[in-house]
């Protein structure tokens, strides 16, 4: 990157013909109002925006007030060029506000410089701040002014390091917060962070470590979306006695979890919850701990309307038979999506969830469904019949159908007991659907199956 030289040694300016009209009617670009020109060049990468300074005297410092400054990671050999370029851009900037500031770089021994730049963005009333830092050679602490920035509405913070927090934390206007690869160390200050978010609406935690923490409470009165991702084996050292994370979300509408449940997540007062997903990944180690954590998560999601579960969620519950009688009632659940390969309809945990979900209207087996062929009788399957099958279940979706007998057997059971079903939509695998001979016979078999609902249509896709 050679953009630093554009500021230090400007090329000879080329005058534009300010008298010339474009197409003989409209004014030339240079005669547009400055705010329009500034808006136009704000769409350029910062390096190209700086290059516009050579166009004419009027353009010389227009770039110095563009609202968005995005500095992306350079090749290692050009790191110092980026560092110097950032420095010059911020030094020559006018007093106008910064809307978005992005900084992605290796810190090495330049922690003080990086902090100076972040502080400069705060002084310019930054609204959206994206900080992605790594490769620290010394102890690093973000500037304290960041944690009391009144103009900040969106903050993305990604750095594989311990987050050192100041005593005073208040993001009075922060609505979107993403924290990635950070280790929370001080329990009291971490609690201060998650208590200083009065207008936060969206929170995302990616690969964060709660090492050494016992209890943390996340309480944001306007939070409507919460996403948590944790897969890193670096977190597994605290698996057995992981942090107890309490989430209070009276306004929460969306919850997403994907990972290995290294921590104990407990959700409270989720009365407004609409959509939730639990995508659990396990290695069949510490399954008793995992089972209990899955159970606690489900307890907190009992008011949800749309729920997606991975196979590992159901499998984990199966490992702890003592928990099955305590699975909560899902009295608001209307749409249940089972996002795992070939659901076994005879799974005790799945049947218990169906029993406890009386209002399900749509049941989606995304990756297919099956039932063991060695079952001599089918009367005991779905017995007692889940209440939703008798009064509310209108649509069943089955994905990745291949026409095997065990798949047909499972669908037969569903059709038999779903008394108010309108549609069963069966999506065939591509190689299967492309072979008409293979498709014709299973379709005839499906059409011939007895149905508990006279209005049911079988749709093969």
User: DSSP label at 285?
Assistant: S
- Residue 92: pLDDT band (50, 70, 90) is confident
The average confidence (pLDDT) of the chain is 84
Q: What number is the average pLDDT over the span 145-165?
A: 95
CA separation for the pair 64, 96 (Å, rounded): 9
Query: Residue 339 — φ and ψ, nearest 5°?
Result: -100, 65
Taking only the tens place, the pLDDT of each residue in 191-247 is 999 998 999 999 999 999 987 799 999 989 999 999 999 987 554 444 556 799 999
Tokens of 102: 């992005």
Place of tokens 């989720």: 270
H helices present in 328-404, as ranges? 348-355, 387-391
Which is more confident, 345 or 159?
A: 159
Report the alpha-carbon angle 381-350-325, nearest 5.
95
Which of 2-16, 158-172, 277-291, 366-380 is predicted most confidently? 158-172
What is the Cα Rg of the chain in Å?
A: 29
CA separation for the pair 38, 33 (Å, rounded): 9
Q: What number is the average pLDDT over the span 134-156?
A: 93
SS3 177: strand
Q: What percent of the chain has pLDDT over 70?
A: 81
Closest CA to 418 of 361, 364, 371: 361
- Residue 43: pLDDT band (50, 70, 90) is low
Tokens of 372: 């063991």
The H or E element that residue 408 is part of is: helix 405-417
pLDDT value of position 436: 53
Report the alpha-carbon angle 149-88-92, nearest 5.
75
Closest CA to 421 of 369, 456, 373, 382: 456
pLDDT value of position 78: 84
Report the alpha-carbon angle 305-309-310, nearest 5.
170
pLDDT value of position 53: 60
pLDDT value of position 378: 59
CA separation for the pair 272, 347 (Å, rounded): 30
Taking only the tens place, the pLDDT of each residue in 285-334 is 678 889 999 999 999 999 999 999 998 899 888 888 888 999 999 999 99
Closest CA to 202 of 147, 235, 156, 165: 156
Q: Is the dihedral of CA 119, 122, 123, 124 positive or negative?
A: positive
pLDDT value of position 384: 87
pLDDT value of position 24: 40
pLDDT at 374 over 80: no
| pTM of the full structure | 0.85
User: Angle at which helices 436-447 and 405-417 pack, to 10 degrees?
Assistant: 30
Q: What number is the average pLDDT over the span 242-264?
A: 92
Do residues 196 and 217 touch, judged by C-beta distance below 8 A?
no
The H or E element that residue 246 is part of is: strand 244-248
pLDDT at 124 over 60: yes
Closest CA to 322 of 356, 345, 373, 288: 288
pLDDT value of position 234: 57
Taking only the tens place, the pLDDT of each residue in 1-41 is 444 444 444 444 444 444 344 344 335 666 767 666 666 66
Report the alpha-carbon angle 149-155-160, nearest 5.
115
CA separation for the pair 167, 147 (Å, rounded): 10
pLDDT value of position 437: 58
Tokens of 123: 């002084």
Q: Which residues pair with 219 in a beta bridge?
A: 248
Distance of CA 213 to the CA centre of its chain: 24
Is residue 121 packed enough to be buried (19+ CB in 10 Å), middle (13-18) or exposed (0-12)?
buried
pLDDT value of position 274: 97
- Residue 153: pLDDT band (50, 70, 90) is very high
Taking only the tens place, the pLDDT of each residue in 333-345 is 999 999 877 788 8
CA separation for the pair 80, 88 (Å, rounded): 12
> Which of 101-110, 155-164, 187-196, 423-432 shows the lowest per-residue confidence on average (mean pLDDT)?
423-432
């Amino acid at each position: 990157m050679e953009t630093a030289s554009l500021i230090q040694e400007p090329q000879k300016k080329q005058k534009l013909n300010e008298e010339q009209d474009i197409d003989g009617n409209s004014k030339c670009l240079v005669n547009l109002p400055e705010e329009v020109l500034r808006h136009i060049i704000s769409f350029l990468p910062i390096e190209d925006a700086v290059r516009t300074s050579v166009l004419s005297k009027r353009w010389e410092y227009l770039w110095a007030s563009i609202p968005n400054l995005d500095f992306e990671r350079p090749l290692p050999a050009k790191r110092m060029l980026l560092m110097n370029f950032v420095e010059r851009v911020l030094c020559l900037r006018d007093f106008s506000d910064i809307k978005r500031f992005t900084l992605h770089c290796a810190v090495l021994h330049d922690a003080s410089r990086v902090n100076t730049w972040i502080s400069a963005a705060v002084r310019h009333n930054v609204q959206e701040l994206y900080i992605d830092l790594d490769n620290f050679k010394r102890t690093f602490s973000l500037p304290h002014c960041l944690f009391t920035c009144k103009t900040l509405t969106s903050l993305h913070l990604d750095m594989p390091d311990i987050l050192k927090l100041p005593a005073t934390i208040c993001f009075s206007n922060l609505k979107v917060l993403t924290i990635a690869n950070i280790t929370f160390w001080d329990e009291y200050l971490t609690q201060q962070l998650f208590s200083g978010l009065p207008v936060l609406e969206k929170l995302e935690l990616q690969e964060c470590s709660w090492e050494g923490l016992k209890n943390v409470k996340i309480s944001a009165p306007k939070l409507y979306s919460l996403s948590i991702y944790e897969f890193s084996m670096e977190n597994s050292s605290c698996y057995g006695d992981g942090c107890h994370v309490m989430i209070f979300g009276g306004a929460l509408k969306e919850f997403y979890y994907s990972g290995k449940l290294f921590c104990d997540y407990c959700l409270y007062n989720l009365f407004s919850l609409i959509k939730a997903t639990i995508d659990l990944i396990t290695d069949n180690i510490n399954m008793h701990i995992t089972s209990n954590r899955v159970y606690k998560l489900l307890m907190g999601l009992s008011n949800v309307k749309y729920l997606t579960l991975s196979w590992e969620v159901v499998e984990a519950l199966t490992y702890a038979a003592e928990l099955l009688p305590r699975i909560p009632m899902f009295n608001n659940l209307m749409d249940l999506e089972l996002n795992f390969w070939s659901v076994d309809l005879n799974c005790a945990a799945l049947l218990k969830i169906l029993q406890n979900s009386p209002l399900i209207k749509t049941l989606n087996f995304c990756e297919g469904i099956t039932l063991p062929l060695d079952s001599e009788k089918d009367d005991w399957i779905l017995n007692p019949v889940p209440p939703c099958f008798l009064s509310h279940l209108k649509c069943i979706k089955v994905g990745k159908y291949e026409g095997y007998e065990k798949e047909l057997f499972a669908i037969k059971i569903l059709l038999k007991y779903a008394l108010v079903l309108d549609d069963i939509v069966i999506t065939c695998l591509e190689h299967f659907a492309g072979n008409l001979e293979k498709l014709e016979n299973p379709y005839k078999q499906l059409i011939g199956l007895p149905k508990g609902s006279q209005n049911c249509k079988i749709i093969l896709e």
